[in-house]
Structure 1
Amino acid sequence: MECPRCHNQNVKRLYKLHGKYYCRQCIAFHRVWVDEPYTQDHTRFPPQKVRYSLDFELSKSQQDISRQLVYNYQNHYHSLVLAVCGSGKTEIVFELIQYALQRGDRVCFCIPRKELVKELYQRIKEAFHQIDIGLVYGGHIENINAQLIVCTMHQLYRFEKSGFHLMIADEVDAFPFYGNPVLQQIFMRCCIGNYVKLSATFVKEDIDGEELLIMNRRYHGYDLPVPQLIICPHCLQVLLISFLLKKWKKKVIVFVPLVQDVDKLACQLQSYTHLRVRGVSSIHKHNQDNLMALKNGDIDVIVSTTLLERGITIEDVQVIVYHGEHDLFDRRTLIQIAGRVGRKISHPQGHVYILSNEHTSSIRQCIHTIKNLNQMSV
């Protein structure tokens, strides 16, 4: 027996009810019977003229990849886009979205986290004119039958029976999509045409026959900031961070591995430096208020878990990683953290310091990858 959705064959995860078996592995996305016939209604929309506009001009690299994505879709190729943090990967798919919508194809743009989905929806809504756009995330359903849907990965199960001709997935290296076979199978069930996956941290194991396109430069053309490793015992790391904060006199995010580290380190830094320090994590309140306060210069430092590793842009921010040897700081996470620095053309460079009591393979791989991207000629 095998679940027709997630392909689970573990009999311990297949339960019997009223003489029929259903899968418990993907039960969170509504029950699927093992012998349930699977049909899809491939809805097409009338061809129409679709326009979009941007308030900036794409770089040559962005334009080249944008055109290649359209070509790949026309020729029924799946695409992976390795785009460095802050390179403007969202806008490079707009031409492809326009092409698909004009054909009458149904399009989905999905991303793991609710906060980023709402931001993405606003960006697409401002760019595309006179198009109904659906927005679906936990606790919110809006225009679910629209031709263009923006949603979280967790909400894709709602579209298994209808599907999409074009699926665009951003941050496929992020929790909860990465390493989740159930979500990945639901994604593939929804894809009745071709997909584009976007990430800043693809490795060769992620490639499965797709065409890989690489955008190794940010739109402003400067190199990515390369992290500097400082081997330092735990007992001295707080003092070193305090020294750097007073020396830089800039906005800083200090990343810590554990939630319980946030308030402890924030109190220590505020005591040692007399700067305005706030904590951010999944259990902290007012996260968005504190983030906005840092952007506006109302506070000086945020101590954060990896909650802020992606999806934020703060002008002229510097980054420090505390206890960088921790297993949670893997290669992908460190690359994302480093990607918070130098995103704006007004301040295209900055500091990324990793404080660790040892030189881990993850730190080594992160630094090596960023240096290679800076040297790469694509």
Structure 2
Amino acid sequence: MGRVSECAVLVRGIAERKREKKLNLLQWNGKLSTGQNLAAQGVVEAIKQKESFFIWAVCGAGKTEMLFYGINEALQKGERVCIATPRTDVVLELAPRLQEVFPYIKVAALYGGSVDKEKDAVLVVATTHQLLRYYRAFHVMVVDEIDAFPYCADQMLQYAVKQAMKERAARIYLTATPDETWKRKFRKGEQKGVIVSGRYHRHPLPVPLFCWCGNWKKSLIHKRIPRVLLQWLQTYLNKKHPIFLFVPHVRYIEEISLLLKSLNKRIEGVHAEDPGRKEKVAAFRKGEIPLLVTTTILERGVTVKNLQVAVLGAEEEIFSESALVQIAGRAGRSFEAPYGEVIYFHYGKTEAMVRAKKHIQGMNKNAKEQGLID
């Protein structure tokens, strides 16, 4: 949004744009899985009826594809659609994918510092902060990762989402890790929705391993990486598999990434305020960076083939059940490489770690029973 002071004059209004109705806007030849198709039908119906619909889908279930037919339904009627997400990285991943399957329209990507100025586009992918720019603009509002920080804890952002919608709009909510309020509303039948417990490629979610690594903070004081972690990283670097190493705080990133450069000088660290964040993530996707040391800022929205995932200090409070489930969900997402290792290196197991593992095992069990995985 840029800087705004109390004395600034702000003007709001409803800017109606000419509706352009076109057929066959969706150019996608893929096929939805059973679970995806069930969710997609719910999305289309919610958009037709201007209702609320909730999708509780595991990481890697293919949530974006579940939206394709619903978005197409809205665009064909000349309606505007917004996909709002708390994280910039998700915007940067979603916008190109949507532009590819909707080539005849402009997909706007809006986030802090973005150069895209087409705010009146019919299909907008934006961080929730950017919705403060809109008033009664969208016929369809998709809120991705409803449990993610800062959206879940910021009433201003939740207000921004409501204000950006038409008074009668379709609302689609997505997450892999809903909080207890969303779970309760869904189970009581107060919220229409669907659970998709299997990934689109029909392989189970990687179940995290626990590995005790000793007093890792003390090791860092002595400029050492815990041996078990170092050996694990070396194994996958030798195999040339990309690696995410999650750490509990930004203060550890530079220190650990510098120590790890002894394994490979191209190893980098990235965090929320890193000015090179966008470029580093892009380089990681291309294979130019073999390992990224990062915080929970990359727990969502990043898909990389063959990714292996480690957490150092998994016992720290920042690694909640939902954070650990999301982190584990980075591995094994691609059809070509549906397996990946997830390991929590810790100095003592926590309830959050145990619950995260049970959550993932429970989803795999449900998916098996429903015939969603082989």
**Mapped pair 1:243 → 2:218:** no
Q: Does 1:150 align with 2:125?
A: yes
Q: Which residue of 2 aligns with 1:355?
A: 345
Query: Structure 1 residues 296, 101: CA separation in 2 closer, same or farther (over 3 Å shift)?
Result: closer
Q: 1:260 aligns with which of 251, 254, 269?
A: 251
Q: Secondary structure at 1:224's aligned position in 2?
A: coil
Aligned to 2:100: 126
Q: CA, structure 1 residues 348+254, in 2 after alignment: closer, same or farther (shift >3 Å)?
A: same
Distance, in Å, in 2 between the alignment partners of 1:40 and 1:284 is 36
**Structure 1 residue ranges without an equivalent (≥5):** 1-25
Q: Does 1:186 align with 2:176?
A: no
Alpha-carbon shift at residue 327 of structure 1 (Å) = 0.9
Query: By how many angstroms is 1:87 displaced?
Result: 1.8
**Equivalent residue, structure 2, for 1:57:** 31
> TM-score, normalising length from structure 2?
0.82
- The amino acid that maps onto 2:340 is G
Paired with 1:225 and 1:71, the residues of 2 have a C-alpha distance of 33
1:103 aligns with one of 71, 74, 77:
77
Amino acid at match of 1:178: C
Once structures 1 and 2 are overlaid, which stretch shifts more, 280-289 or 257-266? 280-289
Q: Secondary structure at the match of 2:151?
A: coil
Distance 2:107 2:279 in 1: 28
Query: Is residue 2:306 matched to residue 1:306?
Result: no
Q: Is the 8 A contact 1:100 1:166 kept in 2?
A: yes
Q: Which residue does 2:174 correspond to in 1?
A: 198
Contact 1:226 1:371 in 2 (8 A): yes
- C-alpha deviation, 1:220, in angstroms: 0.9
| Aligned-pair CA distance for 1:90 | 0.8
**Cα distance in 2, alignment partners of residues 296 and 186 from structure 1:** 35
1:368 and 2:342 matched: no
Alpha-carbon distance change, 95 to 298 in structure 1, aligned in 2, over 3 angstroms: closer
- Give the Cα–Cα distance (whole angstroms) in 2 for the partners of residues 32 and 101 of structure 1: 39
What is the total number of aligned residue pairs between the two structures?
349
Cα distance, 1:291–1:118 mapped onto 2, change above 3 Å: closer
Worse-superposed segment, 258-267 or 291-300? 291-300
Partner of 2:88: 114
- CA shift in 2, pair 1:101/1:284, >3 Å: closer
Residue 323 of structure 2 corresponds to which residue in structure 1? 333
Cα shift at 1:325: 0.9
Amino acid at match of 2:40: S
Structure 2 counterpart of 1:215, one-letter code: V
CA, structure 1 residues 292+148, in 2 after alignment: closer, same or farther (shift >3 Å)?
closer
Give the drift of 1:157. 1.8
- Relative to structure 1, the CA distance from residue 245 to residue 275 in structure 2 (aligned partners, 3 Å threshold; closer, same or farther) is farther
Output the CA distance in 2 between the equivalents of 1:187 and 1:274: 43
| Cα drift, residue 281 of structure 1 | 2.1
Give deviations 1:310-330, integer Å, cap 9, x for gaps: 222222121111011111111
Q: Which moved more, 1:336-345 or 1:99-108?
A: 99-108
Larger radius of gyration: 1
Letter of the 2:231 counterpart:
F
- Checking the alignment, whether the CA contact within 8 Å between 1:45 and 1:147 is kept in structure 2 is no
Corresponding residue for 1:170?
144
User: Whole-Å Cα distance in 1 between the matches of residues 271 and 13 of structure 2?
Assistant: 42
Identity %: 30
Distance (Å, rounded) in 2 between the aligned partners of 1:81 and 1:362 = 23
**Larger deviation: 172-181 or 91-100?**
172-181
- 2: CA distance, partners of 1:179 / 1:97: 28
User: CA contact under 8 A between 2:142 and 2:172: conserved in structure 1?
Assistant: yes
Secondary structure class of the residue paired with 1:51 = coil
Give the corresponding residue for 1:94. Answer: 68
Structure with the higher fraction of residues in strand conformation: 1
- C-alpha change, 1:343 and 1:43, in structure 2 (3 Å) is same
For the residues of structure 2 that align with 1:136 and 1:294, how far apart are their CA atoms? 22
Q: How far did 1:30 drift? A: 7.9
CA contact (8 A) 2:74 2:80 kept: yes
**Structure 1 residue 286, shift from structure 2 partner:** 4.1
1:144 is paired with a residue whose SS is coil
Deviations 1:29-75 (A, max 9, x none): 78799xx9998677673544242122532222212211121123333
Instruction: Provide the rounded CA distance (Å) in 1 between the counterparts of 2:301 and 2:47.
Output: 27
1:216 is aligned to 2:192: no
Between 92-101 and 273-282, report the one with greater CA deviation: 273-282
After TM superposition, the structure 1 = structure 2 runs for residues 314-333 of structure 1, keeping only pairs within 5 Å, are 314-333=304-323
Q: CA 1:107 to 1:298, structure 2 compared with 1: closer, same or farther past 3 Å?
A: closer
Distance 1:296 1:178, change over 3 A: same
Please name the residue that 2:222 is paired with. Answer: none
Q: Residues 222 and 71 of structure 1: is their aligned pair in 2 closer, same or farther, counting only changes over 3 Å?
A: same
- Does 2:51 correspond to 1:77? yes
Question: How far off its partner does 1:294 sit?
Answer: 4.4
